[in-house]
Amino acid sequence: MNLHRNCELTLPGWLDQYMDEWNEPLDTVEQRMKLAVALSAENVKHHTGGPFGAIVVEEQGSRLLSVGVNLVTTAELSLAHAEMVALSLAQSAAQNWNLGAASRVQLITSCEPCAMCFGAVPWSGVSSIVWGASKEEAEAAGFDEGDKPENWAETLERRGIATQGGVLHEEAATVLARYARRDGAIYHPGKN
């Protein structure tokens, strides 16, 4: 049997120069969210995926560990959500699936995590997650965010993962709404 043996997640070419030119600090959750939202907007601008961006940073010291943008349509991988990309790249760089093994790590995402990304958070080793736009706003733009427990944030808190939502909410929601107005690709089986 000849099975396909690998898949690849590669960030878009525009991202290197964009990050080289990013010179703003990442000391606060608002500064961090500003970058995640900017990445989501740039991803739409360059037609390299959906309107979602994420970063992984050390909570103390604010060292940027990775960035991610939604690559579902360009990589043809349903798992290539911005959060999954950012977490995977951080884990690859650390050569450790447990991002919390060496320090406290934070995931910042431009939108509340979907069911898949929510599921990945506890196993990634992050100690906190921060999001901008809400599930309802992603769904209003046409995305299927899947089913999560109603008290999903509390379930993370019980596991010791701090949560904070609505950071730069308006800016993050604007990117989703703009994407929907421009008829960007909405990718889930019910839309094909």
Q: Determine which one of 24, 42, 58, 83 is catalytic.
A: 83
CA angle, 40 then 45 then 49, to 5°: 60
CB crowding 15-45: b at 16 or more within 10 Å, else e: beebeeeeeeebeebeebbbbbbbbbbbbbe
Nearby residues of 56 by Cβ (< 8 Å), 6 or more positions away: 64, 65, 66, 67, 68, 86, 87, 89, 90, 99, 105, 106, 107, 108, 126
Q: Residue 168 in contact with residue 33, Cβ under 8 Å?
A: yes
Give Cα separations from 12 to 17, 23, 35, 43, 90 (angstroms). 10, 20, 16, 8, 16
Is 136 annotated as catalytic? no
Q: Which residues are catalytic?
A: 83
